Structure 1
Amino acid sequence: MKFALTPIALALLATAGAAQAETVRFATFNASLNRDAAGQLLSDLANPLATGGVTQTVANRIQQAHNVAEIAQRVNADVLLVNEFDFDLNGTPTASSVATGLGYSSNGAKLFQDNFLSAGHGNAVRGLTSGIDYAYRYTPNTNTGLASGFDLNNNGAISGGDDAFGFGNFGGQFGFTIYSKYEIVSVRSFQTFLWKDMPGNLLTNDPTASNLADFYSPAEIDALRLSSKNHVDVTVRINGQDVHFLTAHPTPPTFDGPEDRNGKRNHDEIRFWADYVAGAGYIYDDQGNTGGLEAGAKFVIAGDYNADPLDGDSFKGTVNGQQYNAIGQLLDNPLINTSVTPTAPGGADAATHPSNNGNANQSHVGDPTRDTADFSDSAPGNLRVDYVLPSANLQIEGAGIFWPADPDRNAPNTTGDEYDLVGNFRDRNLYANYPSSDHKAVWVDVTVVPEPETYAMLLAGLGLIAAASRRRS
């Protein structure tokens, strides 16, 4: 005998369908949307058609922003971190120690959405893209270019990017911003967390002969911040679940001396998230709260971490009998799901590309298909430095890197195919030597399911309604 479901039952069925597992794409892209002078990014993003008789240099910068936007559209992430995006406060290029609140979007982030991400791109060869709309954004403040008042590089003068809390030639250079299709429900930033307050840090517990405690003065040690830009927990609500999007951009482990101050800072910037996801109690944020994540919390760590597990200059090896590996603190972490490693054919292609200016790639140990950055081939060579790392309680459905191989090494990068968006190493006719960036976009697809209690209540309700319907029939 047939029976009809009541409107309430139908509503419950609809709710049950909505509560099923949802696949969500998280991505990171160091898009090189930094500029050489304060205000340039804002002016570029406000002029998407390059009108007003701009110079070829400015036209190249604007085209680069279009290429970045097209890559973002082709990746089509649900939650996206953009590294190297100059910070502004309501249209004023700057940086300060004041944390931006939930919902803050810089003018630059808004202009990039309105004038670039919302507009279609592409051509007949590689196909057209549709605009992509992110309903939610968050732009944190940054330590880059923020004057420290100290001679941090010990060159006898207090000036320049090396003496800022994070390297930057002007306040806000090399910041970052976050775009999301899902609601951002909370933020925690850690811009002012002091390096010395991390137990066992490499600042005051430096195990090497070139000791940082000798390189920096006591006053500098008391003032140095851990984060070279910022560490930010951006919590997004997906399928009724809170997922913590843990975003950062640790300093490159180079541009220093035998003391390896940047390499050691990079190591501890990466360690911060390892401690945070483990719930470390020593952590404090800019909002006055303490502690890390609760046990069982869902998270995705993302960003340009400037550390390869096998190659490059990040802090790794055995020092005084202890093993160190900067990015290994995350890749070997049982709280993190590393069952799938993103790959792309472009990394292997770039390792032997005729445009290379050296042979560093030939000495690398790592798999080039896992590389995410096309660096100088004299040193350090191409590396895996950009990561999207979900928590162990999130299932990975897929992953990738936007790095197509060059379909014709004898043709210029003007044929219209996807490779034109990433290009050959160091094309000096382009802004920043690339059509887009020396880094490539990386993404991971994860499954977010509702809590078991949600399923249980829905199934129980449906069972009762179905039983009642059968009795009436």
Structure 2
Amino acid sequence: MKIRVATFNVSLYGKTAGEVYERLIDGRDPKAIKLAAIVQTVRPDVLLVNEIDYEPNAATARLLAEEYFSIAKSGRSPIEYPYIYAAASNTGIDSGLDLNGNQTSGEATDAWGYGVYPGQYSMAIFSRFPIDQKNIRTFQNYLWSELPAAKRPRDPETQKPYYEDRVWSKLRLSSKNHLDVPIQIGDATIHLLASHPTPPVFDGAEDHNGCRNHDEIRFWLDYIDNPDAAYLRDDAGNSGGLTRDAAFVVLGDLNADPADGDGKQDAIRRLLGHSRVQDPKPRSPGAAEPNAKNKANAKHTGDPSLDTADFGSSGHFRVDYVLPSESLNVVDAGVFWPQRQDPQRELISASDHRMVWVEVEVP
């Protein structure tokens, strides 16, 4: 059986809790209509959405599915997702600590993951196939210091830790969450290993966001490599990584380009080159088009056709990934980034990220 798996950072967030839900409620939100048109064009069987508000009842995610994906938009056929999983997120949850060191607590930068309200920038999975809810593993509470050889941020001149010991011992690794979500496809199971690491910018010389981004990605290397690792404890208290015979797909907006940008690139390069991971290198014709107005792209060394996000004056980057395990046969792959003369081009204005998809054969 062939299935199409996709990731899409849709940038559906607001300034206050509940704002996005109110925008979507009548099915007429212009941004969501464009997002739905992209989904209905690519038609993934399994879709990870980054940057959508979280509520315990998945209200916003269900509204997006019912009022947008499942209703024809811009002349396209609707697509139904009967199975939805909305993930809790560290974003906007006050840590009670002064994480940014300005002698004040309770700010967005003092949350376990940056956010002005709880659930901002979260994740949801939409699937045409059953989600094995009982066996979902989450690592929302996993401590950064528990990861062996964690990159603890330090002042580059004094080598003094950016986070004092009492803060470091409590810090969570995941800026949102790390998810292992099993999808049941006939007799086969595919584990979706989903995350959305913090951007490796918006910090200082200590590079605390760069360190965190690196280790949020490195977490998956440990999870894939170490099925018996006692230090990999999920939120239910169960230990260990993924079994060696498990089929999986690592996916999400990982906020890391292997060639360009300010991130610590070792982790993403190791993930892309891992022996159990395939990099289908999804491409698009639109990303590679020359843009005389954007001089930053001329300084980049990565293949522009692989780029998945347009960050304005900073240029284009490859930061969104769908990486199947070696046990899945890759049939096709792509990035929804139409060329300028394509009538579908206007749809991509809905987000600074592009949908990335991979089609695989499930044994």
- What's the TM-score once normalised by structure 1's chain length? 0.74
User: Hey, what's the Cα distance between the residues in 2 that align with 1:283 and 1:210?
Assistant: 33
RMSD of equivalent CA atoms = 1.5
Aligned to 1:465: none
1:329 deviates by 2.3
1:212–1:261 contact (8 Å) kept in structure 2: no
1:239 deviates by 2.9
Deviation readout 1:112-138 (Å, 9 max, x if unpaired): 11111111012xxxxx21111011110
Give the direction of change, closer, same or farther, for the CA distance of 1:283–1:80 in structure 2 (3 Å limit).
Answer: same
2:291 alignment partner AA: T
Does residue 1:437 correspond to 2:351, yes or no?
yes
1:352 alignment partner AA: N
From 49, 55, 77, the equivalent of 1:82 is 49
Aligned to 2:171: 224
Aligned to 1:41: 20
Stretches of structure 1 that go unaligned for 5 or more consecutive residues are 1-21, 50-61, 91-105, 123-127, 317-324, 409-416, 423-434, 450-473
Deviation readout 1:355-395 (Å, 9 max, x if unpaired): x4xx1111000011100000122x3x210000000001111
Does residue 1:446 correspond to 2:338, yes or no?
no
Does residue 1:163 correspond to 2:115, yes or no?
no
User: Hey, what's the Cα distance between the residues in 1 that align with 2:235 and 2:287?
Assistant: 38
From 276, 281, 287, the equivalent of 2:223 is 276
From 247, 253, 256, the equivalent of 2:200 is 253
Q: Which stretch shifts more, 360-369 or 280-289? A: 280-289
User: Hey, what's the Cα distance between the residues in 1 that align with 2:179 and 2:155?
Assistant: 30
Does residue 1:331 correspond to 2:272, yes or no?
yes
Does residue 1:147 correspond to 2:86, yes or no?
no
Q: Mapping of 1:46-195 within 5 angstroms?
A: 46-49=25-28, 62-90=29-57, 106-122=58-74, 128-185=75-132, 186-195=135-144
1:44 deviates by 1.1
1:373 alignment partner AA: A
1:346 deviates by 1.1
User: Hey, what's the Cα distance between the residues in 1 that align with 2:356 and 2:211?
Assistant: 25
1:208 deviates by 7.7
User: Hey, what's the Cα distance between the residues in 2 that align with 1:64 and 1:448?
Assistant: 33
Deviation readout 1:226-267 (Å, 9 max, x if unpaired): 000000111001131111011100000000000000001000
Does residue 1:419 correspond to 2:345, yes or no?
yes
User: Hey, what's the Cα distance between the residues in 2 that align with 1:210 and 1:188?
Assistant: 40
Q: Which stretch shifts more, 149-158 or 228-237? A: 149-158
User: Hey, what's the Cα distance between the residues in 1 that align with 2:197 and 2:161?
Assistant: 23
1:212 deviates by 7.7
User: Hey, what's the Cα distance between the residues in 2 that align with 1:242 and 1:370?
Assistant: 29
User: Hey, what's the Cα distance between the residues in 2 that align with 1:149 and 1:219?
Assistant: 12
1:239–1:448 contact (8 Å) kept in structure 2: no
Which ranges of 4 or more aligned residues in structure 1 deviate by more than 4 Å?
210-213
Does residue 1:290 correspond to 2:239, yes or no?
yes
1:264–1:315 contact (8 Å) kept in structure 2: yes
Aligned to 2:214: 267
1:73–1:131 contact (8 Å) kept in structure 2: yes
User: Hey, what's the Cα distance between the residues in 1 that align with 2:55 and 2:157?
Assistant: 37
- What's the TM-score once normalised by structure 2's chain length? 0.96
User: Hey, what's the Cα distance between the residues in 1 that align with 2:158 and 2:254?
Assistant: 23
Question: How much identity, in percent, do the aligned residues show?
Answer: 44
User: Hey, what's the Cα distance between the residues in 2 that align with 1:129 and 1:373?
Assistant: 24
Aligned to 1:215: 162
2:53–2:123 contact (8 Å) kept in structure 1: yes
User: Hey, what's the Cα distance between the residues in 2 that align with 1:81 and 1:419?
Assistant: 22
User: Hey, what's the Cα distance between the residues in 2 that align with 1:238 and 1:208?
Assistant: 48
Give the direction of change, closer, same or farther, for the CA distance of 1:213–1:276 in structure 2 (3 Å limit).
Answer: farther
User: Hey, what's the Cα distance between the residues in 2 that align with 1:293 and 1:27?
Assistant: 21
User: Hey, what's the Cα distance between the residues in 2 that align with 1:38 and 1:228?
Assistant: 18
Aligned to 2:2: 23
1:212–1:259 contact (8 Å) kept in structure 2: no
2:45–2:127 contact (8 Å) kept in structure 1: yes
1:35 deviates by 1.5
Does residue 1:352 correspond to 2:311, yes or no?
no
User: Hey, what's the Cα distance between the residues in 1 that align with 2:137 and 2:321?
Assistant: 20
1:353 deviates by 5.3
1:314–1:326 contact (8 Å) kept in structure 2: no
User: Hey, what's the Cα distance between the residues in 2 that align with 1:421 and 1:210?
Assistant: 47
User: Hey, what's the Cα distance between the residues in 2 that align with 1:272 and 1:264?
Assistant: 12
2:52 alignment partner AA: F
Aligned to 1:101: none
1:40 deviates by 0.8
Aligned to 1:16: none
From 341, 344, 366, the equivalent of 2:281 is 341
From 321, 325, 336, the equivalent of 1:387 is 321
